[in-house]
């Protein structure tokens, strides 16, 4: 039972890393000419698939790779926040295993703040951003993707461990 926080932190870290890697932060669906198309926007690349073509074509953030347009600030903030959140979780795990509970809680708190910034800023800006206007989709439908929700779950796990560690300390103080 004493290793449960470290286990939950490990799960949180894995989910956070997967969410950063997968190109599915936003899903956009609509039509390109007469074909139904789906675009998945990630932090590092965008992927396009159509109903008539079973192949999924992914490229490094194509609308911005030519340097003519700057990458949207929400994507940059999300990249930085997601990586900082993951690094803070790694630090929390290492500090927890070392027995430095106070520093581990601080690291978890900083990681949680980074993740919350990501989880609040990204949907507020991205769902209505010029990102989706870079693609010629008619009647597009936009929604948050799997990667975003994995980051939410990761943040919830991190919050759970932080609360458990605070409650555990409170119980020790009363004895």
Place of tokens 């991205």: 126
| Amino acid 46: pLDDT | 78
| Amino acid 62: pLDDT | 53
Residue 130 is part of which domain span?
Answer: 4-174
| Amino acid 60: pLDDT | 56
SS3 labels along 96-161: HHHCCHHHHHHHHHHHHHHHHHHHHHHHHHHCCCCCHHHCCCEEEEEEECHHHHHHHHHHHHHHHH
Structural domain tally of the chain?
1
pTM for the whole thing?
0.79
| Amino acid 134: pLDDT | 52
CATH of the domain at 107: 1.20.140.150
Strand order in the sheet with 26-32: 53-60, 45-50, 35-41, 26-32, 138-144
| CA separation for the pair 45, 142 (Å, rounded) | 17
| Amino acid 149: pLDDT | 94
| Amino acid 130: pLDDT | 46
| Amino acid 142: pLDDT | 79
Residue 37, classed as helix, strand or coil, is: strand
**Per-residue pLDDT in tens (0 to 9) along the chain, 175 residues:** 577 878 888 898 899 999 989 888 888 888 777 777 788 888 888 787 877 666 666 655 555 565 666 667 777 888 888 889 889 888 888 887 787 878 888 888 888 898 888 888 888 777 766 444 555 566 567 788 999 999 999 999 988 988 888 887 666 655 5
H/E element, 41: strand 35-41
The two tokens of residue 109 are 């708190």
Place of tokens 């990458």: 71
Go through the chain and tell me how many residues it has.
175
């Amino acid at each position: 039972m004493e290793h449960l926080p470290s286990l939950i932190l490990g799960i949180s870290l894995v989910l956070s890393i997967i969410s950063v890697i997968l190109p599915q932060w936003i899903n956009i669906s609509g039509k390109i000419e007469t074909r139904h198309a789906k675009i998945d926007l990630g932090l590092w690349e965008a992927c396009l698939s159509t109903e008539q073509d079973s192949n999924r074509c992914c490229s490094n953030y194509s609308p911005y790779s030519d340097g003519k347009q700057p990458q949207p600030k929400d994507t940059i903030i999300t990249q930085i926040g997601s990586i900082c959140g993951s690094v803070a979780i790694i630090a929390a795990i290492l500090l927890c295993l070392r027995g430095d509970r106070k520093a581990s809680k601080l690291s978890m708190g900083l990681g949680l703040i980074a993740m919350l910034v990501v989880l609040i800023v990204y949907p507020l800006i991205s769902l209505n951003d010029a990102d989706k206007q870079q693609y010629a989709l008619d009647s597009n439908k936009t929604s948050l993707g799997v990667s975003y929700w994995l980051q939410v779950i990761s943040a919830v796990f991190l919050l759970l461990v932080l609360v458990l560690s605070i409650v555990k300390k409170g119980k020790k103080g009363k004895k």
